[in-house]
């Protein structure tokens, strides 16, 4: 493995790919237009991950329930190993995430970041900002009524 | 007692075929898509995810469609599906302090930092039927107003009280919690096991128990210190990598109640707390869970056992699961011909004996 696999960057792009809407990822990946040869080390597999909370938000952990997750691992013909762990039951999503994870360890990283990762991040941030703005519009501005004392 | 019987096969097949036809309803009416259920019946989807113990809105919507809108049947379908999934692991406990809040209110502090954010709520609506929604082709999609977003996450309200020592502290730990989906529930249960049972418990049952505490059965004077709804990231360690990544983002509802005092010879009086956390926007359930959690804590908080249902851990935990309950309840409609045959014989024998006794008494 190259040094790139150890950078905190990898945590960032894998997290982004896990949360990306599958249709957006598929569109951007398709437009990127590269189809490197690969073989699965672990074929795409749907499973559950137990989500936990804490008592009183800060105390002891407790089990809240599971979420669906799909994972896969693959090796490019050029040797790089990529992993995909994505939310939901999307085998294509997991495979595309793993392919991108592997390609991000090659000299295609900069092009891939610009063509796929940056637009995904921008879209997620825009969606989050839109909700935050709608929430802000429902924030209560208290004012005190004039009291009838004088 | 179950006895194998044959002969119903064709009737069952035909019953299921008719079920499919009835599920579809009038073919002249458009068929519902799973996406429509997911987007437009989102609160039903949230309930099915919460009580089904599986966060997957597409699956929950499919289950609702298959169950013809019977949410307990849909929860049953999700629970059954969930058991087929291999478990990849457990995530780190979610950090709700970092929640991207759609809604965040406090009933205890008007001027809470971060403010009172109402979010998409039914509160303050007039509960009048809106006949505009009945009109076909509603026209343009509604568009919510926007204001510039505030920076940073809203801090937890209980944190402020804690700074003054006015509220009991939650003891942080990283202990692995028990999992009632893996091992049978053992009583007495600790608080983590109770919270797992309550979060997947039936909304109606937990609501009624919570209401009973408000009406005086183990009253503990709950205030909603804070209610927040929003998205949190879920992080998990990936063994192949040796570090944690975010594997997704989920919407949660969290309720923290601030309840009446406890104190002792060594500790001054302070507020106590109840906690509710559920998948999706599921506010009634989160508040109910917090009230019942608080009522069940009577022993550790040195309170009196009032004999109230909401204080009875066994009563609450063994009856809050609607799939267990409905399974046992509904099985009595299945054939019990042999059981009943023996009861029939018994009651006939008793009647014969009673009649003989009467005749003897009359003869004497």
Contact (Cβ atoms closer than 8 angstroms) between residue B234 and residue B250: yes
Is the backbone peptide bond immediately before B188 cis, with ω within 30 degrees of 0? yes
Mean pLDDT, range A59-64, rounded to an integer:
97
Mean pLDDT, range B126-142, rounded to an integer:
84
Phi, psi of B138 (to 5 degrees): -65, -5
**Sequence-separated (6 or more) residues with CB below 8 Å from residue B22:** B68
Contact (Cβ atoms closer than 8 angstroms) between residue A58 and residue B170: yes
CA-based R_g, chain A, Å: 21
Over chain B, what is the mean pLDDT? 93
Mean pLDDT, range B126-140, rounded to an integer:
83
User: Lowest-pLDDT range, B81-85, B111-115, B274-278, B293-297?
Assistant: B111-115
Task: Chain A: give the shortest CA distance to residue B93, in Å.
Answer: 4
pLDDT band for B3, please (50, 70, 90 cuts).
Answer: low
Per-residue pLDDT, B140: 79
Contact (Cβ atoms closer than 8 angstroms) between residue A14 and residue A97: yes
* Cβ atoms within 10 Å of B330's Cβ, excluding its own: 10
Q: Where are the domains of chain A?
A: 3-137
Per-residue pLDDT, B154: 86
8-state DSSP, B333? G
Question: Residue B244, SS3?
Answer: strand
**Sequence-separated (6 or more) residues with CB below 8 Å from residue B203:** B47, B50, B51, B282, B284, B285, B288
Per-residue pLDDT, A145: 67
Per-residue pLDDT, A2: 46
Q: Does position A3 have pLDDT exceeding 60, yes or no?
A: no
Per-residue pLDDT, A1: 43
The helix (H) or strand (E) run that includes residue B335 is: none
Per-residue pLDDT, B276: 98
Per-residue pLDDT, A5: 52
pLDDT band for B336, please (50, 70, 90 cuts).
Answer: confident
Phi, psi of A138 (to 5 degrees): -100, 15
Contact A63 B196 (CB under 8 A): yes
Per-residue pLDDT, B160: 82
Paired tokens of B180: 């009632």
Do strands B100-105 and B223-238 pair parallel, antiparallel, or not at all (unpaired)?
antiparallel
Interchain contact B55–A (C-beta under 8 A):
yes
Contact A137 B147 (CB under 8 A): yes
pLDDT band for B266, please (50, 70, 90 cuts).
Answer: confident
The size of chain B, in residues, is 364
Please report residues of A whose CB lies closer than 8 A to that of B111: 142
Q: How far is Cα of residue B46 from the mean position of the Cα atoms in its chain?
A: 10
Q: Where are the domains of chain B?
A: 9-82, 96-119+154-168+185-320
Q: What's the rounded Cα separation, in Å, for the pair B45 and B29?
A: 22
**ipTM score over 0.85, yes or no:** yes
Q: What is the pLDDT of residues B145-196, one digit of tens each?
A: 999 998 888 889 888 888 888 888 888 899 999 999 999 999 999 999 999 9
Question: Residue B322, SS3?
Answer: helix
User: Lowest-pLDDT range, B103-107, B134-138, B323-327?
Assistant: B134-138
- If you count DSSP H runs as helices and E runs as strands, how many of each does chain A have, helices first? 5, 3
Interchain contact A127–B (C-beta under 8 A):
no
Q: What's the rounded Cα separation, in Å, for the pair B84 and B75?
A: 15
Q: What angle do CA B304, B307, B310 make, to 5 degrees?
A: 95
Task: Chain B: give the shortest CA distance to residue A35, in Å.
Answer: 24
Task: Chain B: give the shortest CA distance to residue A57, in Å.
Answer: 7
Q: What is the pLDDT of residues A78-102, one digit of tens each?
A: 999 999 999 999 999 999 999 999 9
The helix (H) or strand (E) run that includes residue A75 is: strand A61-76
Question: Residue B222, SS3?
Answer: coil
**Sequence-separated (6 or more) residues with CB below 8 Å from residue B44:** B37, B64, B69, B71
As a whole-number percent, the residues of chain B with pLDDT over 90 amount to: 75
Q: What is the pLDDT of residues A10-23, one digit of tens each?
A: 999 999 999 999 99
User: Lowest-pLDDT range, B40-54, B123-137, B229-243?
Assistant: B123-137
Nearest CA-CA partner of B51 in B344, B288, B223: B288
Phi, psi of A146 (to 5 degrees): -65, 130
Contact (Cβ atoms closer than 8 angstroms) between residue A68 and residue A44: no
Q: Does position A4 have pLDDT exceeding 60, yes or no?
A: no
Question: Residue B150, SS3?
Answer: coil
Mean pLDDT, range A131-147, rounded to an integer:
87
Question: Residue B357, SS3?
Answer: helix
Interchain contact B58–A (C-beta under 8 A):
yes
Interchain contact B110–A (C-beta under 8 A):
yes
Interchain contact A11–B (C-beta under 8 A):
yes
Strands in B77-124 per DSSP E: 87-93, 100-105
User: Lowest-pLDDT range, A63-72, A88-97, B212-221?
Assistant: B212-221
Contact (Cβ atoms closer than 8 angstroms) between residue B223 and residue B110: no
Per-residue pLDDT, A6: 58
pLDDT band for A76, please (50, 70, 90 cuts).
Answer: very high
Q: What angle do CA B36, B40, B45 make, to 5 degrees?
A: 90
Give residues 24 to 83 of A whose Cβ lies within 8 Å of B.
45-69, 71, 73, 83
Residue reference for tokens 């014989």: B345
Paired tokens of B256: 């923290």
Contact (Cβ atoms closer than 8 angstroms) between residue B219 and residue B256: no
pLDDT band for B211, please (50, 70, 90 cuts).
Answer: very high
Nearest CA-CA partner of B180 in A59, A87, A60, A50: A50
Per-residue pLDDT, A29: 97
Paired tokens of B228: 């927040």
Interchain contact B312–A (C-beta under 8 A):
no
Contact (Cβ atoms closer than 8 angstroms) between residue A41 and residue B83: no
Give residues 93 to 122 of A whose Cβ lies within 8 Å of B.
none
């Amino acid at each position: 493995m190259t040094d790139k696999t150890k950078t905190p960057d990898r945590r960032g792009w894998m997290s982004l790919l896990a949360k990306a809407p599958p249709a957006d990822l598929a569109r951007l990946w398709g437009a990127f237009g590269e189809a490197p040869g690969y073989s699965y080390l672990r074929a795409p597999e749907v499973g559950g991950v137990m989500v936990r909370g804490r008592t009183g938000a800060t105390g002891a952990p407790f089990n809240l329930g599971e979420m669906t997750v799909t994972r896969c691992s693959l090796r490019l013909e050029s040797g790089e190993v990529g992993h995909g762990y994505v939310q939901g039951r999307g085998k294509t999503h997991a495979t595309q995430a793993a392919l991108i994870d592997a390609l991000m360890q090659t000299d295609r990283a900069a092009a891939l970041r610009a063509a796929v990762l940056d637009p995904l991040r921008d879209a997620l941030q825009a969606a989050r900002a839109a909700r935050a703005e709608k929430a802000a519009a429902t924030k209560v501005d208290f004012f005190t009524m004039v009291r009838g004392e004088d | 007692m179950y006895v194998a019987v044959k002969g119903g096969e064709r009737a069952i097949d035909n019953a299921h075929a008719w079920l499919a036809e009835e599920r579809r309803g009038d073919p002249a009416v458009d068929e519902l898509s799973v996406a429509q259920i997911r987007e437009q019946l989102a609160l039903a989807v949230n309930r099915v995810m919460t009580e089904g113990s599986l966060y997957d809105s597409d699956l929950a919507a499919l289950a609702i469609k298959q169950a013809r809108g019977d949410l307990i049947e849909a929860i049953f379908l999700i629970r059954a599906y969930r058991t087929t999934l291999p478990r990849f692991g457990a995530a780190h406990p979610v950090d709700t302090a970092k929640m991207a809040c759609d809604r965040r209110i406090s009933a205890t502090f008007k001027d809470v930092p971060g403010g009172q954010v109402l979010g998409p709520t039914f509160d303050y609506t007039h509960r009048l039927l809106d006949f505009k929604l009945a009109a076909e082709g509603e026209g343009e999609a509604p568009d919510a107003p926007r204001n510039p977003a505030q920076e940073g996450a809203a801090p937890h309200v209980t944190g402020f009280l804690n700074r003054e020592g006015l509220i009991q502290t939650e003891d942080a730990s990283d202990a692995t919690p028990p999992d009632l989906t893996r091992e049978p529930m053992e009583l007495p249960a600790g608080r983590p096991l109770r919270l797992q049972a309550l979060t997947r418990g039936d909304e109606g049952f937990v609501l009624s128990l919570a209401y009973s505490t408000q009406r005086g059965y183990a009253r503990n004077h709950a205030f909603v210190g804070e209610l927040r709804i929003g998205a949190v990231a879920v992080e998990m360690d990936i063994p192949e990598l040796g570090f944690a990544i975010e594997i997704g983002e989920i919407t949660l509802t969290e309720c923290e109640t601030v309840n009446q005092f406890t104190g002792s010879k060594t500790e001054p009086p302070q507020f106590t707390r109840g906690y509710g956390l559920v998948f999706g926007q599921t506010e009634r359930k989160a508040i109910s869970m917090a009230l019942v959690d608080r009522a069940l804590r009577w022993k550790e908080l040195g309170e009196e056992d009032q004999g109230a249902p909401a204080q009875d851990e066994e009563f609450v935990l063994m009856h809050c699961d609607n799939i267990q309950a409905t399974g046992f309840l509904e099985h009595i409609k299945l054939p019990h011909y042999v059981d009943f045959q023996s009861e029939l014989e018994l009651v006939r024998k008793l009647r014969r004996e009673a009649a003989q006794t009467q005749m003897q008494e009359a003869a004497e």
